[in-house]
């Protein structure tokens, strides 16, 4: 039974405003959880096969090849068996001071609700680029009352999320290529007098143009970490909801993705709801299509039971969509164009160095609500891509390519590397705790062995190969597995997680960090209860999982894991900061995007703070004596989320997404004055932060 949607003005229990829920993810949390699978039986079988003895063996022998080719084990809590530097014993006073692990030596920002980007003492900031700033030749300057679809298609898009910075060498030494996701639009904050029941064609077409991806060259300042957008550079580019994309890999040309406009099943118009992403070692960027379901309408009128069940598992709207796009393009109507939705929900690969390249939807990486996709290389040079499916009780995945990356800049290498993500095997994670289930009581209390930890298996779902795609899931073809990946993972008995968001492998140690944002439905009647990896019922604050696996084994199907961080107010007994003293860490809620700095520290941005502060960005040491010392680096303005963090030696870059997205807000009644002050329309924007004294961040 479908629950009634709350009226605007009610706050979502996970910590976001109702406005955010409505526009960002189509009120996902107010609908039934799409994963109603009962996959416990298969899980039990796997759990039995993976006995405590084998778990311990895995934990002891699992080694991970680092980028440099060395190896580490997932050792004891707080172990410093990693490449990160040891703490400086002289600077042991920690929280509240500028001391800390190298890269994190700044005075933490206190939790606050100021309507600005608050940075540590001694740091400076600038707005690099805002929604509407012209980036492509011929695009006009932004004017809130003179928006057109044509103008927007040449301007920076709305709601910047994932960010990448790629080097531009040679004569462009002091320039970098900034790539941004434009996840979604907030129509009520974009258009004066917006009527959600009756959007105009013009408003809809502007929204199409404000979605997608942006590429813009940025100029470094030689004295600071300031970045300035180089408008109208020849590499600058916008890709929108109507640009041409290609389906690539095992699903391309399949009957499941053919439509009346594209009988070839290979050519898609647009990318939607790009949330986080990744940067590949071969110089391309990856972009996850996340809550694509919300743009499609009328799943409730679909009569074919198989199609209806598939749409339901992906949470496609049963009636009209929020933005009513189906009124202006029939491809958004599931009845009129049944396969169009099957062409969204992939990882997009973009070559930002080639402004004429057609981006590819890499179907071998599966179809779900992709948050990010961060690759690393195995010892023999094959990319492994880690991916989360951001929904309560959904799963996390990895893809292992069967091809090796070619080094160098030659045309042959470039062409070869653009095929790496089309061939390989897709896996889903199954986790088993090593403590008796009875000791995980749902409160977050540690089991008697002192840790939430255990082992896991990567379960094979399907393999994409030029000789023929192979399904590893009974009753599904390989193409079905790649298009309806959630259903395949249900059958495989994957572990239901607390909203797997961004995943990032440490370039120093090879350990992989999985941000699990929250899950207030955990333990509710009829829903899965706490387990060792998701140990709190009604989980408001989320946790971060750390895993280590063995890349020497080409199958790569075993790993060891433990919870690195259990988020919340440190005074809350259920929280855990890798064993670091809790009176010396910053409070954190709802970890979302994660990134590593050049020193091997993990940086975490939050989405939906439940502790009364605005969202922020935090850094934490993952190794050495400071492991677990979490420090808040910045907070964002009212209603905003901190996205796309990037940490370079000289700067921290964040995408300030949906500022002013507070219930009841509109263009006429703004709830934030960021970034341009009172009387100006609120605009999502990218911000760079650096040290006033010119030294590197946090040293
Ligand atoms: Fe777009 Fe999962 O946050
Ligand atoms: Ca345990
Ligand atoms: Ca996110």
3-state secondary structure 41-85: HHHHHHHHHCCHHHHHHHHHHCCEECCCCCEECCCCCCCCCCCCC
Integer angstrom CA distances of residue 539 from 151, 497, 499, 569: 43, 11, 10, 13
* Residue 290 in contact with ligand 1 by CB distance below 6 A: yes
pLDDT tens for 137-167 read 999 999 999 999 999 999 999 999 999 999 9
User: If you take atom 3 of ligand 1, which residue's CA is the nearest one?
Assistant: 275
pLDDT tens for 620-648 read 999 999 999 999 999 999 999 999 999 99
- What is the three-class DSSP state of 568? strand
Find how far residue 576's CA is from the centre of its chain: 23
pLDDT tens for 217-254 read 999 999 999 999 999 899 999 999 999 999 999 999 99
More confident residue, 72 or 260: 260
CB atoms within 10 A of CB 122: 12
**Which residues fall within 8 angstroms of residue 501, CB to CB, at 6 or more apart?**
276, 371, 372, 388, 390, 515, 516, 517, 591, 592, 593, 607
Token pair recorded at residue 691: 């040290």
Signed CA dihedral, 51, 57, 60, 61: sign only:
negative
* Residue 483 in contact with ligand 1 by CB distance below 6 A: no
pLDDT at residue 3 is higher than 70: no
**pLDDT on residue 262:** 98
Is 564 in contact with 584 (CB distance < 8 Å)? no
User: If you take atom 1 of ligand 1, which residue's CA is the nearest one?
Assistant: 275
Q: How far apart are CA 15 and CA 610, in angstroms?
A: 5
**pLDDT on residue 42:** 30
Helix (H) or strand (E) holding 632: strand 630-635
pLDDT at residue 47 is higher than 60: no
Q: Mean per-residue pLDDT for 271-295?
A: 97
- CA of 450 from ligand 2 middle (Å) equals 6
Cis omega (within 30 of 0) for bond into 436: no
Percent of the chain residues past pLDDT 90, beyond the cut: 82
- CA of 501 from ligand 1 middle (Å) equals 7
More confident residue, 523 or 22: 523
pLDDT at residue 447 is higher than 60: yes
Residues paired with 375 in a beta bridge: 385
pLDDT tens for 536-558 read 999 999 999 999 987 656 557 89
* Residue 422 in contact with ligand 1 by CB distance below 6 A: no
**pLDDT on residue 553:** 61
User: E strands, 402-542, where?
Assistant: 424-433, 453-464, 470-471, 497-498, 500-505, 512-516
Q: How far apart are CA 182 and CA 272, in angstroms?
A: 8
- CA of 164 from ligand 3 middle (Å) equals 15
Nearest atom of ligand 1 to the alpha carbon of 273: 1
- CA of 464 from ligand 2 middle (Å) equals 36
pLDDT at residue 694 is higher than 60: yes
CB atoms within 10 A of CB 466: 10
Confidence at 36, pLDDT banded by 50, 70, 90: confident
- CA of 372 from ligand 1 middle (Å) equals 9
Q: What is the pTM of this model?
A: 0.91
- Residue 264 DSSP one-character state: T
Ligand nearest to the CA of 159: 1
Helix (H) or strand (E) holding 596: strand 591-596
* Residue 371 in contact with ligand 1 by CB distance below 6 A: yes
* Residue 501 in contact with ligand 1 by CB distance below 6 A: yes
Average pLDDT of the chain, as a whole number: 89
**pLDDT on residue 23:** 86
């Amino acid at each position: 039974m479908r629950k009634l949607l709350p009226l605007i003005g009610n706050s979502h229990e996970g910590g976001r405003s109702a406005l955010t829920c409505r526009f960002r993810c189509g009120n996902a949390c107010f609908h039934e959880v799409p994963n109603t699978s009962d996959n416990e039986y298969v899980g039990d079988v796997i759990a039995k096969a993976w006995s405590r003895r084998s778990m311990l063996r895995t934990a002891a022998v699992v080694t991970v090849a680092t980028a440099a080719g060395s190896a580490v084990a997932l050792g004891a809590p707080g172990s410093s068996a990693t490449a990160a530097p040891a703490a400086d014993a002289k600077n042991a006073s920690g929280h509240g001071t500028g001391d800390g692990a190298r890269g994190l030596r700044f005075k933490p920002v206190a939790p606050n609700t100021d309507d600005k980007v608050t940075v540590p003492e001694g740091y400076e900031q600038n707005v690099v680029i805002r929604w509407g700033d012209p980036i492509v030749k011929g695009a006009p300057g932004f004017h809130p009352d003179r928006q057109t679809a044509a103008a927007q298609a040449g301007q920076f898009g709305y709601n910047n999320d994932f960010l990448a910075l790629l080097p531009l060498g040679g004569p462009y030494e002091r320039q970098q290529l900034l790539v941004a996701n434009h996840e979604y639009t907030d129509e009520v904050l974009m258009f004066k007098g917006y009527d959600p029941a009756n959007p105009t064609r013009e408003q809809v077409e502007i929204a199409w143009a404000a979605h997608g991806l942006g590429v813009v060259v940025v100029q470094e300042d030689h004295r600071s970490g300031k970045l300035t957008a180089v408008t109208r550079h020849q590499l600058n580019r916008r890709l929108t909801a109507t640009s041409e994309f290609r389906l690539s890999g095992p699903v391309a040309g399949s009957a499941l993705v053919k439509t009346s406009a594209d009988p070839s099943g290979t050519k898609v118009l647009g990318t939607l709801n790009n949330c986080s992403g990744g940067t590949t070692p071969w110089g391309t960027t990856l972009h996850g299509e996340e809550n694509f379901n919300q743009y499609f309408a009328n799943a409730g009128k679909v009569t074919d039971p198989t199609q209806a069940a598939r749409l339901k598992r992906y949470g496609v709207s049963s009636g009209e969509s929020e933005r009513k796009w189906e009124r202006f393009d029939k491809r958004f109507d599931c009845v009129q164009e049944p396969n169009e939705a099957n062409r969204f929900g992939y990882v997009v690969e973009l070559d930002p160095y080639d402004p004429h390249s057609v981006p590819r939807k890499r179907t071998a990486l599966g179809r779900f609500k992709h948050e990010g996709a961060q690759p690393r290389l195995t010892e023999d040079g094959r990319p492994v891509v880690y991916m989360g499916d951001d929904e309560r009780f959904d799963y996390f995945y990895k893809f292992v390519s069967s091809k090796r990356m070619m080094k160098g800049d030659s045309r042959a290498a470039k062409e070869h590397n653009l095929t790496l993500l089309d061939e390989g095997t897709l896996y889903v994670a199954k986790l088993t705790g090593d403590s008796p289930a009875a000791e995980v009581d749902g409160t977050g209390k540690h089991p008697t062995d002192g840790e939430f930890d255990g082992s896991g298996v990567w379960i094979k779902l399907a393999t994409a190969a030029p000789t023929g795609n192979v399904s590893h899931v009974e009753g599904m073809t390989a193409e079905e597995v790649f298009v309806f990946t959630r259903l395949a993972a249900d059958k495989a008995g994957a572990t239901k997680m607390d909203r797997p968001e961004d995943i990032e492998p440490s370039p120093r140690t090879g350990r992989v960090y999985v941000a699990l944002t929250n899950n207030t439905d955990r333990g509710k009647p009829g829903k899965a209860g706490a387990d060792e990896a998701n140990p709190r019922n009604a989980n408001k604050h989320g946790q971060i999982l750390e895993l280590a696996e063995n890349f020497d084994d080409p199958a790569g199907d075993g790993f060891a894991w433990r919870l690195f961080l259990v988020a919340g107010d440190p005074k809350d007994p259920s929280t855990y900061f890798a064993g670091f003293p809790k009176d010396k860490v910053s409070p954190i809620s709802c970890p979302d995007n994660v990134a590593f700095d050049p020193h091997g520290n993990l940086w975490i941005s939050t989405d939906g703070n439940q502790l009364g502060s605005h969202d922020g960005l935090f850094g934490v040491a993952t190794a050495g004596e400071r492991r677990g010392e979490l420090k808040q680096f910045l907070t964002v303005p009212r209603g905003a989320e901190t996205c796309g963090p990037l940490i370079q030696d000289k700067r921290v870059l964040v995408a300030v997404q949906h500022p002013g997205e507070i219930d009841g807000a509109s263009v006429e009644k703004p709830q934030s004055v960021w970034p341009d002050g009172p009387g100006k329309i609120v605009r999502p924007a990218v911000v760079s932060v650096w040290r006033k004294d010119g030294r590197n961040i946090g040293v």
